[in-house]
Amino acid sequence: MINYPNRETVLKEILAAVQDNYDFIVIDCSPSLGLITVNALTAAQSVVVPVQCEFFALEGLGKLLNTIKIVQSRLNMDLKIEGILMTMYDARLRLCNQVVNEVRRHFDELVFSTIIHRNSKLSEAPSFGKPVILYDGNSKGSVNYLNLAKEILQKNNLTKIPNEEKILE
């Protein structure tokens, strides 16, 4: 009988082969809690938890955190939460501000300082086949993602940028 490796093992082997060449490998999953997401969490060292600043966000956050706990207990005990990232933020909307405040109230230390603002350039860039930083490097979305990268590097002690210089305007 031939013993075929499971998907988690194959994914971990692929990632191990490329880890020598990169400091970070990002696995971007669809917003579902299906098999692909579970496999990605099983292979990952850490996870960034995106939370849209919208009505059902807290319900989705609870389900994702529960899935992460299950993966941590059964499949990947070394998985850590890198942080919670607030996305699709519009400061003009009371609901957005309420969601941010609620998430910060419950998960204060886990929530990134960086917030990804709702930005048309973020939506347009994929239709041009480019990441937003190449599509419009000066857009609010690009600056937000650059700030997130700085924050992750600082959190992991991988940069000499002082904390007070973390946020670009």
Residues 102 and 140 in one domain: no
- What's the confidence (pLDDT) of residue 143? 94
% of the chain with per-residue pLDDT over 70: 91
Strand pairing partners for 103?
none
Residues 143 and 112 in one domain: no
Residues 79 and 147 in one domain: no
Residues 69 and 84 in one domain: yes
Number of neighbours of residue 117 by Cβ within 10 angstroms: 19
Q: How many domains does the chain have?
A: 2
Strand pairing partners for 52?
87
Residues 111 and 124 in one domain: no
Residue 142 has pLDDT above 80, yes or no: yes
Residue 161 has pLDDT above 80, yes or no: no
Residues 38 and 112 in one domain: yes
3-state secondary structure of 161: coil
Q: What is the dihedral angle through the alpha carbons of 124, 37, 19, 165, rounded to the nearest 10 degrees? A: 50
Residue 62 has pLDDT above 70, yes or no: yes
Question: Of 95, 24, 100, 103, nearest to 65 (Cα)?
Answer: 103
Instruction: List, for residues 69-91, the tens digit of each pLDDT value.
Output: 999 999 999 999 999 999 999 99
Q: Cβ distance 125 to 136 under 8 Å? A: yes
Single out the residue in 118, 133, 151 at which a domain terminates.
118
Single out the residue in 95, 118, 141 at which a domain terminates.
118
Report the CATH number at residue 74. Answer: 3.40.50.300
Number of neighbours of residue 21 by Cβ within 10 angstroms: 7
Q: Determine the Cα–Cα distance for residues 156 and 37; give it in Å rounded to an integer.
A: 24
Number of neighbours of residue 2 by Cβ within 10 angstroms: 3
Single out the residue in 118, 133, 160 at which a domain terminates.
118
Domain hosting residue 72, numbered range = 1-13+20-118
